[in-house]
Amino acid sequence: MPRMNELIGHNLRWEQPSANRLEYELRAGDVGLGRLHFPSSFKNIANASNADGEWTFDRPGFWQRRVLVMDRSGRELAAFEPNFWRGGGLLILPDGRQWPTSSNFWATQYHLFDENQEHLLAYTGIGGFFHASCDLTIHPICRDLPELPWLVPFGWYVIMMNRRDSAAAAAAA
Write down the pLDDT at residue 164.
Answer: 79
pLDDT digits (tens, 9 = 90+) for 15-34: 999 988 999 999 999 999 99
Give the pTM.
0.92
3-class secondary-structure state, position 161: helix
Whether 138 shows a pLDDT value over 90: the answer reads: yes
61-86, pLDDT tens digit by residue?
766 689 999 999 999 999 999 986 66
Euclidean distance between the first and the last CA atom of the chain, given in angstroms as a whole number? 44
Q: What is the pLDDT of residue 65?
A: 81
CA distance 47 to 55: 6
69 DSSP assignment? E
Mean pLDDT of 84-96: 87
Least confident of 64-78, 93-107, 155-169: 155-169
The SS3 of residue 29 is coil
